[in-house]
Structure 1
């Protein structure tokens, strides 16, 4: 997601990464709130009435954040992609912090991660490593049950099992390195 209009995005990316060959027709401009719909697999433009009448599933998951201070090399990125393919991972979130974010003082907001952070990588990892050791082979089964039966009360107990995210009604794997 780019926080700006398509023409600015095209100008920046075609100047810095011309090998991508980005063209206007693959860009979708939306308001911030419409982007929320997009990222939750709801068609942009869905009417408020339909949204209010819908039974939208809420997914709760635990994620790990790593703050990147130096660019990842091409070899490093290729290694990440190979590992994602091997693990059948569908998504890994990269949140950039340069540009306008770098111009905001760390003391101006409760979110101080500005200077020296190029981006954040979000992944799902720690609960699995801990859970597999602690629950001796029952962790994945317990997560599956929690996802299907009790995903709505995840934050009522800090030691609760995590739940898996859904994409298009299917439980999916996400980044777990």
Structure 2
């Protein structure tokens, strides 16, 4: 297919360059046993301070250890009241007896204990983080294992640690009524991501990023959609001063149509598409447009935020 197209389809956006009928995946080895953990801390348990410290540590942890923080509203220990919980989650490619001293040395503020940890196979860990029973693993073949709901997602990449005051304001927004069905998933970068060049593949968000934040709000009644979408837009606006800039980067797999869309008539200029294209792909966007122009100049494969050719019918 040529080196350019092969580069583009590995992260350049689905429904843009054609239909992939077959592919090969290069697997990497994992140990027979991994260790997962969850440590929940709410506002009354210094969640803000612990998260503030996590920002300075997570991207420097060994490559065998992945960590994330899930932020959501939960019931408080005080009857009838709510609080905000930071769930510190992780997976270690090894046993619990090796993980505990590692965390105690690198991140003692978390207070990780053996009862927070579970050893399992790597494929079971996928079910663990997906909120599904870890047995039987065949549930992964069931496309309807998780309930479906309407949602709106927005993303950010953070390159500098947020100050405690910024974190407090962020957490407090989850106490609002509209945040009843909201979650923010914060995933640490560093490690292998720092070793891959920005232009090696279309996905450019790698070296220098501390973590990615994915803000999600869900609803069941469509008449409530506007209320929840307005809330997540306010959350996104609040975060503007704490995240990447020029451009404010975004993750293409969570398409955010707030960033802009292709014209309905099928023609979108490079300048128009750059509004969201540079956020998703940074400097790789120009190469993606050139490849699109070469292999699909009539823009047959398109969607609201597909890469447009340099000219269209």
CA 1:35 to 1:109, structure 2 compared with 1: closer, same or farther past 3 Å?
A: farther
Select the residue among 78, 93, 97 that pairs with 1:4. 93
CA 1:39 to 1:84, structure 2 compared with 1: closer, same or farther past 3 Å?
A: same
CA 1:51 to 1:99, structure 2 compared with 1: closer, same or farther past 3 Å?
A: closer
Q: Helix, strand or coil for the counterpart of 1:94?
A: strand
C-alpha distance after superposition, 1:13-32 (max 9, x if no partner): 32232122111221224444
Going by fraction, where is helix more abundant, 1 or 2? Answer: 1
Q: Helix, strand or coil for the counterpart of 1:101?
A: helix
Question: Is 1:46 matched with 2:136?
Answer: yes
Question: Is 1:21 matched with 2:104?
Answer: no
**Structure 1 gap ranges (5+):** 129-138, 145-157, 160-177
- Whether contact under 8 Å (1:2, 1:9) holds in the other structure is no
Question: Is 1:118 matched with 2:210?
Answer: yes
Question: Is 1:88 matched with 2:177?
Answer: no
- Whether contact under 8 Å (2:196, 2:207) holds in the other structure is no
How high is the TM-score relative to the length of structure 1? 0.57
CA 1:8 to 1:92, structure 2 compared with 1: closer, same or farther past 3 Å?
A: farther
Question: Is 1:104 matched with 2:104?
Answer: no
Q: What is the deviation of 1:67? A: 0.6
- Whether contact under 8 Å (2:190, 2:210) holds in the other structure is yes
CA separation in 1, counterparts of 2:113 and 2:210? 25
- Work out which of the two has the higher radius of gyration on C-alpha atoms and give 1 or 2: 2
CA separation in 1, counterparts of 2:153 and 2:173? 18
C-alpha distance after superposition, 1:54-77 (max 9, x if no partner): 842445644211110101222322
How many equivalent pairs are there?
A: 133
C-alpha distance after superposition, 1:138-172 (max 9, x if no partner): x951749xxxxxxxxxxxxx98xxxxxxxxxxxxx
**Structure 2 gap ranges (5+):** 1-89, 227-255, 258-313
Q: Helix, strand or coil for the counterpart of 1:100?
A: helix
Please, what is the CA RMSD of the aligned residues? Answer: 3.5
Which protein, 1 or 2, shows the higher relative CO under an 8 Å CA cutoff with sep ≥ 6?
1
CA separation in 1, counterparts of 2:123 and 2:181? 27
Going by fraction, where is strand more abundant, 1 or 2? Answer: 2
How high is the TM-score relative to the length of structure 2? 0.35
